[in-house]
Amino acid sequence: MFDLQPLEERIRTAAAARRPLRIRAGGSKDFYGGPLAGELLEVGALSGVTLCEPTELVLSARAGTPVAELERVLAAHGQMLAFEPPQFAGRATLGGAVASGLSGPRRVYCGAVRDFVLGVEVIDGRGERLSFGGKVIKNVAGFDVSRLMVGSLGTLGVLTEVTLKTVPRPRAECTLRFEMDQPKALESMRLWATRPLPLSATEWEDGVLHVRLSGAEAAVRAARQDLGGEIVDGAHNRWESVREQQLPFFTAARELWRVSLPVDSPPLPAAGPTLIEWGGSLRWLSGPQDGNALRTLAGRLGGHATLYRAPSKPPSGPFQPLSSAMLSVHKRLKAVFDPHGIFNRGRLYPDF
């Protein structure tokens, strides 16, 4: 058994002294979210798969387990993580994937991180060990605290173990390439999504749309004939680069905005290059933007804009501000789990 006691004690001591802690495992997402404040609390050592039940499509692991390791274990059983979280050169961990809530190319077709979280073990801001959810697919007992942890960026507690639902790997996969301008690509992705096609990823950049089909052999074959386009060989690497944000578009040393919109939103006016994923609902904008104007526009369209990566962290925070009613709910929930405000202060919002 892993001894969690030292971690609990460290948290209790910090809570008593009101000393902020900064939770970190692989450090692959140091760039993400607000400023990194507080004494370092390293949790990367909390590693290892604790339950692998391929016949149940369930996997539990300690939060510091690298995502890459989970994928290796699952691949041996013909399974995978449906939400394709980035592995960031092997440094991304399960806890970080859950805390950041960042999903990959399959997001809108198969589900997000939160859709596959079944249970969590967490140490709260009083140093108390708690367990929510479970290891079964269906469970509605108690409030869904497990999913509340997803995207909370460590502000509610230290995740120590997570249970996920896994999925079988698709039997067949095929990538198609189309030359299209942005409006046409958006329209095509939208129309295709209203039909029962085995779509599993879409990505548009610089006049080229890539579409991945995954599923049963027959379904992929039929969809391929139906959609047309040009078959891309060896597309696996391209999708890896999208998932890992390793395309030159992502690695340029410039501001990177991540704008999430309802799928029927028009093209955004952008100062620099745009890359589109998720059937049109994720728009990456590279280069400096008028942040306020972008947020206003995104909000008006029913979405939000995140300053995903920037040379320096902005004081207003990277995330779209909450309404005052929602902010006060957030503060009250923060106080439930972390009454002394010690975890990852300011990482999600400057207010807590």
Partner 1 sequence: MRHPIIERLRRALPAGAVLSSSEELKPYECDALTLYRQMPLAVALPADEAQVAAVLRLCHEAQVPVIARGAGTGLSGGATPRADAVLLSLARLSRIVGIEPLARTARVQPGVRNLAISEAAAPYNLYYAPDPSSQIACTIGGNVAENSGGVHCLKYGLTVHNVLALRVATLEGEVLEIGSAAPDAPGYDLLALLTGSEGLLGVVTEVTVRLIPKPQCARVVLAVFDDLAKAGRAVADVIAAGITPAGLEMMDRPTIAAVEPFVRAGYPLDAEAILLCESDGAPAEVEEEILHMESVLRGAGATECRVSRDEAERLRFWAGRKAAFPAMGALSPDYYCMDGSIPRRRLAAVLQAIREMEGRYGLRCTNVFHAGDGNLHPLILFDSNIADEVARAEAFGAEILELCVREGGSITGEHGVGMEKIDQMCVQFGSGELAVFHAVKHAFDERGLLNPGKAVPTLHRCAELGRLHVRGGQLPHPELPRF
Q: Which positions from 249 through 268 interact with partner 1, judged by CB under 8 A?
A: 260-264
Between 284 and 323, how does the x/- string for binding to partner 1 read (CB under 8 A)? Answer: --------------x--xxxx-x------------xx-xx
Of 1, 6, 55, 228, the residue at the interface with partner 1 (CB under 8 A) is 55
Residue 242 · residue 223 · CB < 8 Å: no
Q: What is the DSSP letter of 195?
A: S
Q: Is 335 in the site for partner 1 (CB under 8 A)?
A: yes
Q: Is 76 in the site for partner 1 (CB under 8 A)?
A: no
Nearer to partner 1, 126 or 252 (CB): 126
CA 215, 217, 223, 224 dihedral sign is positive
Residue 349 · residue 327 · CB < 8 Å: yes
Q: Is 218 in the site for partner 1 (CB under 8 A)?
A: yes
From the list 19-27, 190-198, 204-212, 245-253, the region that binds partner 1 by CB under 8 A is 190-198
Q: Is 139 in the site for partner 1 (CB under 8 A)?
A: yes
Of 190, 254, 313, 340, the residue at the interface with partner 1 (CB under 8 A) is 190
From the list 32-40, 135-143, 235-243, 247-255, the region that binds partner 1 by CB under 8 A is 135-143
For the range 327-334, what are the long-range contacts, defined as Cβ-Cβ under 8 Å and sequence gap of 24 or more?
327/351, 333/148, 333/156, 334/155, 334/156
Between 86 and 105, how does the x/- string for binding to partner 1 read (CB under 8 A)? Answer: ---------------x-x--
From the list 29-37, 38-46, 194-202, 230-238, the region that binds partner 1 by CB under 8 A is 194-202
Cβ neighbors of 43 (< 8 A, separation 6 or more) are 7, 23, 24, 25, 63, 64, 95, 158, 160
- The Cα-based distances of 226 to 229, 280, 333 in angstroms read 9, 20, 49
Residue 301 · residue 265 · CB < 8 Å: yes
What's the closest the beta carbon of residue 250 comes to partner 1, in angstroms?
Answer: 18
